[in-house]
A and B are shown apart, each in its own frame.
With several copies, the nearest count.
Chain A
Amino acid sequence: MKKIEAIIKPFKLGEVREALLDLGAVGMTMSEVKGFGRQKGHTEIYRGSEYTVDFLPKMKIEVVVGDAVASKAVDLIIKAARTGKIGDGKVFVSHIEEAVRIRTDERGEKAV
């Protein structure tokens, strides 16, 4: 199994979710993160002290899928998340050795 981690722009969450559902994924986990990258941050001012906020709000989606669909999933996510503007984010794929569904104790691809 593969874990796909996608760091995307927050307002693209809905589209990425739809894309994954279309693929047949039945589960995913999401968290709010802050990203630093080429997309430069913005300046904020508080009572005259100006400073740069480099870390921008991003959404991280983690989805574990069977090996077979992993690359398809990556492509779909990329398509859904792309705006073409800097800061669109990254997708990382890594190997998962075991997955377990807590409720049923099912293991492996059945569990994802």
Chain B
Amino acid sequence: MWKNQNLAWRRRVLRSLGRAAVLFAFALGVHGAEAAGAPRDASLEERVTDLEALMNHTAPAAVHRASRVSVNAGDHAWLLTSAALVLMMTGPGLALFYGGLVRSKNVLSTMMHSLFLMALMSVLWILYGYSVAFGEGNRFFGDPGQHFLLRGVGAAPNLDYAGTVPHQSFMLFQLMFAIITPALISGAFAERMKFSAMVLFILLWATVVYFPMAHMVWGKGGLFNWVLGGAIPALDFAGGTVVHVSSGVSALVCCLVLGKRLGHPSTPMPPHNVVYSLVGAGLLWIGWFGFNAGSALNAGALASAAFAATHFATAAAALAWAGLEWILKGKPSALGLASGMVAGLVAITPAAGFVTPAVGLLIGLLAGAACYFAVTKLKAAFGYDDSLDAFGVHGLGGTLGALLTGIFADPEVNPALASTWKAHGATVSLAGGFGQFLHQLKAVAFAWALAMAATYLILKAIDALIGLRVSEEDETLGLDLSQHGEGAYNT
């Protein structure tokens, strides 16, 4: 009785809030539909077995019978912590890392790329992004309306994705990835893209590149999903193809389509505040523990392994980059060290939960060296103006990591590798080797192709529609003033 009145009241309030409210009221009405049935009796032994399962980070067998406990608080604590860490990577982490690298007249606009996306991507996510990425659908994307306003995403774990934590927390954790990925691209078009064009670009890019890629690699039934029935099982622990290849390759297209910054390369454009970039790099390293070890989706041994591989790869890549500078240029630079860190973090991302710390170290060394040469030689050779090296670090580092994952994936680190392999027959080997290398290659190639084609088309469309670049005058004045009407530093 009262409840109905209550709902009616709420509806009255909402109606007065205009058209948008219709959507909300709908969502409010359907919320929580997934309530579980009343628990049936379970024997004491079953109950103990259920507890043991949960403490081993597996959904209790009891879930379809009479689940008394469904969330492992330790797993959940780690997942929530990780979600916070991953968001911290974008703001303030990436915002500072990128913001320090540009000239002082563009620092706010560059940070805005990251900070605005924290808001924008969250809204896309709740509207259709999560549905496209993790809803049920075909092998390319999920049903865009399935989780509209997050209906059906509640307290109960989603057994397909993360059996011991609330589905809602899994959704939140994944959102943080959807936020940082497009923000990474912004390194390529910093200091010259119109803010309105940036917003439109990311909106479309997320819709046709990120959400589908996430579905293909991590979504149930996705083309490249290695545990939930993908035709081409590709290993991507925390986002080598989904996050780094997709963003890094799109970044390359961005700087090619937008063209160079005024004055590049004749005028030097050194970072206006390297301290910011070092702080940003530090926060990225810390936050990346949430990114990679959080991708275990529980606080078990796999999280530990991913944490370790991440850490040693990062250390090794930092030493590789700074060491090469030392050898080749005579001095190791702080920015070089920080760049190496990021390169290592990128390359270990797809591999983190599949390889030993020693292999992590090796991947880091290779990534540090490869990205160093990409940024110093390749960019110079081809002459594109990748302002903050989004392609050199994320595109190439991600590609390298994704391919090496195929070679070094180790069932002793991640036992799921062994079992899945058998399920797929002898020709499919997930535990490293040439077979898996080919799967990785296909997934990477697909990600390259999708990112290049989609980015190119979207940019061309936006250019025709509203223009991509700010005017020469605005670029000279700086984007902070011309796009946002504010200056970062005043006395």
With an 8 A cutoff between CB atoms, is A84 at the interface? no
Contact assessment for B379 and A44 in the assembled complex, using a CB-CB cutoff below 8 Å: no
Q: Which residues from A are CB-within-8-Å of B325?
A: 45
A47 with B476: in contact, given A14-B267, A32-B491, A53-B487 (CB under 8 Å)?
no
Interface flags for A11-26 (1: CB within 8 Å of B; 0: not) read: 1001000000000000
Min CB gap B8→A, angstroms: 38
With an 8 A cutoff between CB atoms, is B49 at the interface? no
With an 8 A cutoff between CB atoms, is B270 at the interface? yes
Bound complex: CA of A14 vs CA of B266, how far in Å? 10
B-facing residues in A63-85 (Cβ within 8 Å): none
Residues on A lying within 8 angstroms of B by beta carbon are: 11, 14, 32, 42-51, 53
Contact assessment for B485 and A44 in the assembled complex, using a CB-CB cutoff below 8 Å: yes
Q: Which residues from B are CB-within-8-Å of A49?
A: 265, 268, 376, 380
A45 with B486: in contact, given A11-B476, A32-B491 (CB under 8 Å)?
yes
Q: Which residues from A are CB-within-8-Å of B481?
A: 42, 44
A46 with B265: in contact, given A11-B476, A51-B270 (CB under 8 Å)?
no
Q: Which residues from B are CB-within-8-Å of A48?
A: 372, 375-377, 379-380
Min CB gap B261→A, angstroms: 12
Interface flags for B243-260 (1: CB within 8 Å of A; 0: not) read: 000000000000000000
Q: Which listed residue (A14, A47, A51, A53) contacts B339, Cβ 8 A? A: A47
Residues on B lying within 8 angstroms of A by beta carbon are: 263, 265-268, 270-271, 325, 329, 331, 333, 335-336, 339, 372, 375-377, 379-380, 389, 476-477, 481, 485-487, 491
Contact assessment for B375 and A46 in the assembled complex, using a CB-CB cutoff below 8 Å: no
Bound complex: CA of A46 vs CA of B484, how far in Å? 10
A43 with B485: in contact, given A11-B263, A48-B376, A49-B265 (CB under 8 Å)?
yes
Contact assessment for A45 and B267 in the assembled complex, using a CB-CB cutoff below 8 Å: no
Min CB gap B257→A, angstroms: 22
Bound complex: CA of A77 vs CA of B339, how far in Å? 40
Q: Which residues from A are CB-within-8-Å of B486?
A: 44-46
Residue from B268, B271, B379, B481 having most chain A Cβ neighbours under 10 A: B268
Q: Which listed residue (A14, A42, A44) contacts B270, Cβ 8 A? A: A44
